[in-house]
Amino acid sequence: MSRRRKTLLVAVALVLLAAGGFAWYWQATSVDRRVNAILAEGRAGEPGLVEGWFIKLGMRKERQVRAWDEVADDLAKLGPSAVPAFIEALDHENEDVRGRAISALGEFRDERAIHALGKVLCCAPGEGIWKSEERAYAVSALGGLGPAAVPILLGVLELDHYESVEFDVVRELMAMGRSGVDGLGNLLSSSDSRVRRRACAALGKVQGWRAGEFLGKALSDHDASVRASAAFHMRYLRSDEFPHALMDALASEDPRVRIAATASLGILGSPRAIRALTSRFEAGELDMVPTALAKIGTAESVGALFDAIRARRVEPEDLVGAMVLHRVSAELLTKA
């Protein structure tokens, strides 16, 4: 190939690269101009004095003013290019504008919106411009962003005002599957016992085998209030897979843990827990034990109750004993 031809090919390549770069730049700036033009239609108010005279004289067209919903719909058609505009709209003074912006960011599922939505979500009630329903919308929008939003959602459980959106946060984390559940489990390593208790409550709502594993580990927490929370919320697992951890908790030195474990074993209804529960009679522990045995509702658990009555560990006329006898079916009473 001659030197002249090589030079020509290099020149053509440079021209093509320049043309591609210009087209890319022009497309980007063109989209930006369209975004700004659409936004201007929603922002435009009454024209100023000079502009008003230009319009009257026919030297300038009157600017079109449209409702924000219409503007937002047109912006949404531009796709991800409109994300910055919607992020900016989160700080708009109008509640409807903010709500539509949150909704649009949820639909785009663009990770650029994570921190902006997190700012809405983490705002305490009464602070900032965002209302409680807007925070709930922000939770749903973040849920649509998938695992990338897990840290922001988990951060809510570390806030003092977490109760206002706790249900929504747990729902979205559940929908994310393992990444959401594992994130909740990781909160059990927090240095704040309040956060660890909240994580236990959230894991109880999540349910499932993985959540049960984390709650079982929380039964070994150095803080008794966290252990009690874990024992209490294991009742919501509705599974017979975790009675051993709860049975071990019956030997806790803290009465809150023992009572929570006893009640959860009764609700879970595991026959494997009968012997461990009856051992609490021998230790003189009556809180919730009769009720737990009654809720298990087998002939063996009813028999254990009658044995306790005969041994005068439980008095039949005692209110607790009366409640227990009332809950046991006639068929099981006959067998006992």
The answer to whether 233 and 215 have CB atoms below 8 angstroms apart is yes
Domains and CATH numbers, the chain: 67-167 (1.25.10.10), 177-268 (1.25.10.10), 273-336 (no CATH)
What does the pLDDT read at residue 28? Answer: 41
What does the pLDDT read at residue 86? Answer: 83
Question: Is-above-0.75 flag for pTM?
Answer: no
CA separation, residue 224 to residues 81, 186, 232, 257, 286 (Å) = 52, 19, 12, 7, 20
* CA atoms of 325 and 268, how far apart (whole Å): 19
| Strand, coil or helix: 213 | helix
The answer to whether 245 and 216 have CB atoms below 8 angstroms apart is yes
* CA atoms of 220 and 215, how far apart (whole Å): 9
Please compute Rg for the chain using Cα positions.
32
CA separation, residue 313 to residues 6, 164, 281, 287, 336 (Å) = 103, 45, 7, 12, 17
**195-199: long-range pairs with CB below 8 Å, 24+:** 195/157, 195/158, 196/221, 196/223, 196/226, 196/229, 197/225, 197/226, 197/229, 198/157, 198/162, 198/166, 199/157
What does the pLDDT read at residue 13? Answer: 56
What does the pLDDT read at residue 237? Answer: 84
* CA atoms of 3 and 12, how far apart (whole Å): 14
Residue ranges in the chain whose pLDDT is less than 70 = 1-72, 124-128, 161, 239-240, 282-287, 312-336
User: Could you count the other beta carbons within 10 Å of the beta carbon of residue 41?
Assistant: 16
Phi then psi for residue 67, to 5 deg, are: -65, 150
CA separation, residue 182 to residues 61, 142, 157, 177, 273 (Å) = 58, 17, 14, 9, 28
Angle, helices 255-268/274-282, rounded to nearest 10 degrees: 140
What does the pLDDT read at residue 18? Answer: 47
